[in-house]
């Protein structure tokens, strides 16, 4: 059986995070709505036969990649997986480029070489994922090792699911990060299922306890509360930059769609899905901002769906890639394109001078 919805109710938390201004909170809701709208439209295009391959999304888990990435500085790279479109959006990947990616177009992020999984804009500090789970843990740990050796004030972030915690590389990455006190944040999206395998068939000792066994600070938050995820990541980042080492943040959540569009999730009990529907991260945050800021959420939704519809139209008009180009960029022939650049850092807590300093 997967996770029950018996954890703290975010609606009960009055006020929200003191680290966030009203504009920050609206920005968070905007990213949440954007992620859902982009993936909803992507799924519709897939069902129309316009997206090659399969289609994967993070419905129900939006608060995790959005909240965590919002806490990061421009120089902090992220390693998102298939549930983490929010990381791409917060770092600054354009919605048009994402649709170009879905549709395999020349102006998609990977120039039409891939579908909706293995892509990332390195110039924004986003690494395209390696599918073998949990290899991006090792990549993020290696990045953090590099930052430490070079004395750079940056931390790396890796997202992964509960299933990834059962594989050997997870343990090696945790152990190495713990031993060398590396500036890395491990974001565990514990949705109770690894494809169709529930967590009680996945591990005997919870990931938090295993993390502590490797000397990694570990905490658990409500993954459907975007501000809780933001705060936990903010704290973990400060600890990493202070030299206090790695943190694992378990975000308790539920995947509300199948593993991919081909999976009807019939292995998940209906009652569990219903229970989690009432804890939808976007509905809850919309309710809070209507209450706290008297925000007109409907107008925001309309604006976002228009943006998304226009971006999808623009991508449908993009050319297909030139077949002659298919093998270019497969191997690293030119180091200049391989550099990890600076992403956007929209949180108001980063002053303009901090962002400039990172760029210098």
Ligand X SMILES: Cc1ncc(C[n+]2csc(CCOP(=O)(O)OP(=O)(O)O)c2C)c(N)n1
What residues make contact with ligand X under the rule CB under 6 A? 83, 131-133, 160-164, 167, 189, 191, 193-195, 255, 259
Q: Is 188 or 228 the residue whose CB approaches ligand X more closely?
A: 188
CB nearer to ligand X: pick between 116 and 286 = 116
**CB of residue 128 to ligand X, shortest distance in Å:** 14
| Structure tokens given for 204 | 């005997």
Q: Report d(CA 342, CA 320) in Å as an integer.
A: 28
197-198 and 193-194 beta bridge pairing: antiparallel
Cβ 191 to ligand X shortest distance, Å:
5
If the CB atoms of residues 69 and 286 are measured against ligand X, the closer one turns out to be 69
Q: How far is the CB of 193 from ligand X (least distance, A)?
A: 5
CB of 195 to ligand X, least distance (A): 4
Q: How far is the CB of 30 from ligand X (least distance, A)?
A: 24
Which backbone phi and psi does 99 adopt, to 5 degrees? -65, -35
Residue 164 or 182 having the CB closest to ligand X: 164
Backbone angles phi, psi at 158, to 5 degrees: -125, 130
Shortest Å distance, C-beta 14 to ligand X: 31
Closest contact distance (angstroms) between CB of 158 and ligand X is: 12
Q: Which is nearer to ligand X, 138 or 312 (CB)?
A: 138
- Choice between 65 and 191, CB closer to ligand X: 191
Cβ distance to ligand X smaller for residue 2 or 245: 2
Please give the span between the terminal C-alpha atoms of the chain, in angstroms, as a whole number: 50
**Residue nearest ligand X by beta-carbon distance:** 161
Which residue matches tokens 């378990």?
250
Residue nearer to ligand X on the CB measure, 83 or 237: 83
Task: Output the smallest distance, CB 232 to ligand X, in A.
Answer: 19
């Amino acid at each position: 059986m997967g996770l029950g919805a018996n954890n703290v109710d975010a609606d009960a938390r009055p006020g929200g995070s003191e680290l966030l201004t009203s504009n920050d909170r609206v920005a968070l809701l905007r990213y949440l709505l954007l992620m859902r709208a982009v993936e909803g439209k992507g799924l519709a295009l897939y069902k129309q036969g316009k997206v090659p391959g399969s289609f994967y999304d993070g419905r129900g888990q939006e608060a995790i990649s959005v909240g965590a990435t919002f806490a990061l500085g421009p120089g902090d790279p992220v390693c998102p997986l298939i549930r983490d479109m929010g990381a791409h959006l917060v770092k600054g990947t354009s919605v048009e480029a994402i649709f170009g990616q879905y549709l395999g177009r020349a102006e998609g992020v990977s120039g039409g070489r891939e579908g909706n999984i293995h892509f990332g804009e390195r110039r924004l500090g986003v690494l395209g994922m390696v599918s073998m789970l949990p290899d991006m843990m090792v990549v993020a740990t290696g990045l953090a090792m590099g930052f430490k050796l070079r004395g750079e004030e940056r931390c790396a972030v890796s997202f992964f699911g509960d299933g990834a915690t059962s594989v050997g590389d997870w343990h090696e990455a945790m152990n190495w990060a713990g031993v060398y006190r590396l500036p890395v944040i491990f974001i565990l999206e514990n949705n109770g299922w690894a494809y169709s395998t529930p967590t009680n068939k996945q591990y005997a000792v919870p990931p938090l306890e295993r993390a502590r066994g490797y000397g990694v600070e570990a905490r658990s938050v409500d993954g459907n509360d975007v501000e809780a995820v933001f705060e936990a990541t903010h704290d973990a980042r400060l600890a990493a930059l202070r030299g206090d080492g790695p943190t694992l943040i378990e975000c308790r959540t539920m995947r509300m769609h199948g593993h991919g569009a081909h999976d009807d999730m019939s292995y998940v009990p209906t009652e569990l899905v219903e229970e989690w529907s009432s804890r939808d991260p976007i509905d809850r945050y919309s309710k809070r901002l209507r209450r706290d800021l008297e925000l007109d959420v409907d107008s925001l939704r309309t604006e976002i769906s228009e943006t998304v519809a226009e971006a999808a139209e623009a991508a449908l008009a993009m050319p297909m890639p030139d077949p002659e180009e298919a093998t270019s960029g497969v191997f690293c022939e030119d180091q200049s394109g391989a550099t990890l650049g600076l992403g956007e850092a929209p949180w108001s807590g980063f002053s303009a001078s901090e962002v400039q300093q990172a760029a210098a």
